[in-house]
Structure 1
Amino acid sequence: MSICVAIGVFASPVSGAERSPPGATAESVVALARRLSPELAAAVLDADAALQRVGAAGVQPDPTITLQAWDVNSKGVGQRWIGVEQTFRLWGKTDLEKGVAQADADASRHQSQAMEVDLVARVKTAYAQYSAAQRALELSKSLQQRVDQLLELLRLRYGASSVDQQEVIRSELEAATAAADVARREGDVKSSAARLNALIGRDARAPLAPSKGFPPLRTKLTLSGVQDLARSSNPQLAATHAQVRSATTTKELTDLNYYPDITAGANFVQRQSGENSGMFLLGFKVPLQYEAKDAEQRAASASLGAAQARNDALRIRLDGDVAEAWYRLEAIRKAIKIFEQRQLPPARLSVETARSGFDAGTTNLATLLESERRLRAVELELLALKVEEQSKYADLERLAGGAL
């Protein structure tokens, strides 16, 4: 991507179709982050700068034009020499220099891709937290509404039935706790929205649309499949491959330092008297500084070994990171299944039974409130597990180099 294209992508004005606030889906915020994120824009421009340097590498030096005046005295200039000299880098040095620049440009491009993949993963995690904060607020408001209705009912019954003052006070305390929890959840929604806006590249107070829920995730994943995808598509691993290629080419280039460059030239000699003539020259530097060239070779060999070691280390760590994220994702999904099948239905049934018993006068207030709190705790725990599932899935996508 050229500089002009990059600036156009990251600085283009928002069109009329985009004036509605994002946030309804994860795709909407990811697309906006790709367009507005300043850190991603910087990475793209760095990669473009490295690509432009390829055109400046591997070229012959500029020729030298010389103008000389000889036999200059009181009678004027006796001879004028007009010449040109050109140094030629032979033995394939220019091709190797261009190869080094191209490998560096590839590494920079892969680093830019790694930045984008990492940004997308962070945005998806932040969006999951934003969605969960909204859902938690809905649960808190629902509980507050039920507690307020219960308090109103107890106040109506107080003095006309067996409801005593302690039950009314207990319900009032429960209503205050529910109201405080709603206020805290409203703050969580605002803070998660601010965090998401910052990742996108927008003002922290910019409006976001209500979330439509968590995006669907693939359920049929294999560890070996994700590891193979990571080995072939992870941009950081691709960047280290390019760095190994650059170091290998640099080592080959230092091996050629023992072969000198050639300088050729010609001069046209213009005389005031006599016949004009020409001169030709051919020269080369004698590579006597072997110690310096040997040191350059040793440094290039060490750099190549370091690049290969970093590549091997990243490949091994990548396999381990994929396995760790995959096993955690599998464990979270098992926990979600247990909550959905074995905890949530009994908790809901307990609330329904307690409500019916309270209306019939066979269940006391404490039992009803305890069942309501238990249901809400299960729902919030299930919500936290789903956020963690989204986060671990985003980690797998980041390691794999893109969407699974």
Structure 2
Amino acid sequence: MAFGAPGIAVSSEPVPGSSVESLLEFARTNNPEYAAMRHEADAASERILPAGALPDPRLRVELQDITMGGQQSPTLSPNKVGSTKYTLMQELPWFGKRDLKREIAALELEGAKGRAAGTWSELSARIKSGYAQSYYLYQNERLTNEILDLMTRLEKIAQVRYAGGLTAQQDVIRAQVEQTNLRNELIALENEQRMNRSLLNMLLARPATAPLAEPEQLRPLPAPVRLDPAALADRVRGRNPQLFAEDARLRAAEKNRELTYKNRYPDFAVGVAPMQFGNSIKEWELMVELNIPLQQSTRRSQEREAEAMLSAAHSRKEAVANQVLAELTENLSGLDAARRTEMTIANSLLPQAELTFKSALASYENGKVDFATLLDAQRQIRQAKQNQIKAQAEGQARLAEIERLLGEEL
């Protein structure tokens, strides 16, 4: 049971950070940047209906002969003037314009959804990479502490041999110097952990110094059969949030060009106007109004602008496609290299280094090798374990980037 100080509320919510899933779940709910993009998508969805709606009708009231030929003082009462005309008018765009505006707004919604998905993909990739770095730092700290304990034991062995006159005092000093270096490395690792924790808390919209749980394990890497470059390239083309947003922008540009060409045709308005004389309606008028598209130079300029914007959208989509496919190839190669490096260390280098260290330790205790040889063997096994942890973290970072490009989990 956890106890808090008097008057201080103790949160019952678990501290995130033990798994990458806990961090992603927290960020999905609390990250303000992602929330802002989702709200923008919600706002874009509300623009579709107004985009295709008719403009509000207009009502005009005209009072004619308000002095009745000079027989009375001016008045604004409709039944006391010569006549009152009520004109109700409704503007009507040319055929198809409303549908095009509605389609453009719908495509803008798709673009907003793509940008929101892209924001989440970027955010989740940063969280996954940050978690992998956190795991690497914690494991490196644990390894450094293990080596520090080992060096403490080796110092005691060197002291026993020195007391027995079997070795020089230099061995004891070397062991002490090595421990000092390890303690300095622990200080550096602690500082890196603080910076990484601050970064993760920033992504989670938490205070920079808020605690995070110790990372327990990394996600398993997908099997090589699921990392076929051609299949993933097809998935990227169909699912990448950036490409999705650019495709929506391209289709919106096509619709906008079509709408611009429809501006060659006039919009019109229809109206009805009853005429009031005294207390009764005695006349009705109907009207049709057209705007005359005479400013052809202006419209041609707008059409050229629409064509240029469409060409720009094509080029932008092509540039994004080239970029994401290049990044996919790079990260697939990096993931494969990290996987093979980890396997080589685990299956070959690490067992060899452990055997070398055990042999060197036994030989040192028997006086067959010097302390420098024992230190070299210890450093080799430590370097192998550090490289193994680093390869694991690198593989996770590469996997995070691949999933960012896909816009979904592998």
Shared fold per TM-score greater than 0.5 = yes
Separation in structure 1 between the aligned mates of residue 289 and residue 353 of structure 2, nearest angstrom: 92
How far apart, CA to CA, are the structure 1 residues paired with 2:237 and 2:381?
44
The alignment status of 1:314 with 2:320, answered yes or no, reads yes
1:105 equivalenced with 2:109 (yes/no): yes
Aligned partner of residue 258 in structure 1, secondary structure: coil
Is contact 2:166–2:367 with CA below 8 Å preserved after alignment?
A: no
User: 2:4: which partner in 1?
Assistant: none
Q: Is the 8 A contact 2:32 2:205 kept in 1?
A: yes
Partner of 1:164: 168
Counterpart among 117, 121, 124 of residue 120 in structure 1? 124
Distance 2:287 2:244 in 1: 47
Matches within 5 A, 1:75-154: 75=72, 76=74, 77-154=81-158
Q: In structure 1, what is the Cα distance between the partners aligned to 2:36 and 2:157?
A: 61
Shift of 1:308: 1.5
Q: Secondary structure at the match of 2:192?
A: helix
Farther-moved stretch of structure 1 (301-310 vs 72-81): 72-81
Residue-by-residue CA offset, 1:114-158 (whole Å, 9 max, x unaligned): 111111111101100000000000010001111112223333443
Residues 158 and 58 of structure 1: CA distance in aligned 2, closer, same or farther (over 3 Å): same
Q: Which segment is superposed worse, 270-279 or 116-125?
A: 270-279
Higher mean Cα deviation, 55-64 or 126-135? 55-64
Name the amino acid aligned to 2:64. W
- State percent identity of aligned pairs: 29
Unaligned segments of structure 1, at least 5 residues: 1-15
Counterpart of 1:158 in structure 2: which amino acid? Y
Q: Quick check: 2:114–2:242 contact (8 Å CA) kept in 1?
A: yes
State the TM-score, normalized to the length of structure 2. Answer: 0.90
SS in 2 for 1:158: helix
> Whole-Å Cα distance in 2 between the matches of residues 190 and 40 of structure 1?
25
Whether the 8 Å contact between 2:221 and 2:395 is mirrored in structure 1 is no
Aligned to 1:382: 388
**Among candidates 352, 356, 359, match of residue 353 of structure 1:** 359
User: Quick one: structure 1 residues 261 and 165, their matched pair in 2 at CA, closer, same or farther if it must change by over 3 Å?
Assistant: same
Q: Contact 2:275 / 2:281 at 8 angstroms: preserved in 1?
A: no
Distance (Å, rounded) in 2 between the aligned partners of 1:104 and 1:181 = 52
CA distance in 1, matches of 2:179, 2:393: 28
Pairing partner for 2:223 from 219, 225, 243: 219
1:205-245 per-position Cα deviation (integer Å, ceiling 9, x unaligned): 11111111211110222111111111111111111111111
1:28 Cα deviation after fit: 0.9
1:351–1:258 Cα change, 3 Å: same
Kindly report which structure 2 residues correspond to 1:354-373, keeping only aligned pairs within 5 A, or say none: 354-373=360-379
The answer to whether the Cα contact below 8 Å between 1:57 and 1:98 also exists between their aligned partners in 2 is yes
Equivalent residue in structure 2 for 1:185, among 185, 189, 198: 189
**1:250-304 deviation digits (Å, cap 9, x = unpaired):** 1111111111111111122112399722222111111111111111111111111
Paired with 2:203 and 2:250, the residues of 1 have a C-alpha distance of: 32
Q: Output one character per residue of 1:357-395: Cα deviation in whole Å (capped at 9) or x when no partner.
A: 223332322111111111111211222222111111111
Secondary structure at 2:82's aligned position in 1?
strand
After superposition, where does 1:289-304 map in structure 2 within 5 Å?
289-304=295-310
Between the aligned partners of 1:236 and 1:388, the Cα distance in structure 2 is 24
Aligned residues: 389
Q: Where does residue 3 of structure 2 map in the other structure?
A: none
1-side partners of 2:378 and 2:134: how far apart? 25
Which stretch shows the higher mean deviation, 63-72 or 168-177?
168-177
What residue is the counterpart of 2:21 in the other structure?
27
Indicate which of 31, 39, 61 corresponds to 1:37. Answer: 31
Aligned to 1:3: none
- Aligned pair 1:242/2:236, yes or no? no
The worse-fitting range, judged by mean Cα deviation, of 258-267 and 354-363 is: 354-363
Farther-moved stretch of structure 1 (345-354 vs 179-188): 179-188
Shift of 1:196: 1.5
**Following superposition of structure 1 onto structure 2, how do residues 68-79 of structure 1 map, counting pairs within 5 Å?**
68-73=62-67, 74=70, 75=72, 76=74, 77-79=81-83
Aligned AA (1:383): I
**Aligned partner (choices 316, 322, 326) of residue 332 of structure 2:** 326
Alignment equivalent of 2:58, drawn from 53, 56, 64: 64
C-alpha distance in 1 between matches for 2:344 and 2:161: 40
CA separation in 1, counterparts of 2:58 and 2:305? 33
How much does 1:193 deviate? Answer: 1.7
- Corresponding residue to 1:397 among 385, 390, 403: 403
Q: Distance in 2 between matches of 1:337 and 1:279?
A: 89
The TM-score with structure 1 as length reference comes to: 0.92
The 4+ residue runs of structure 1 with deviation greater than 4 A are none
Q: CA RMSD in A?
A: 1.9
Match of 1:276 in 2: 282
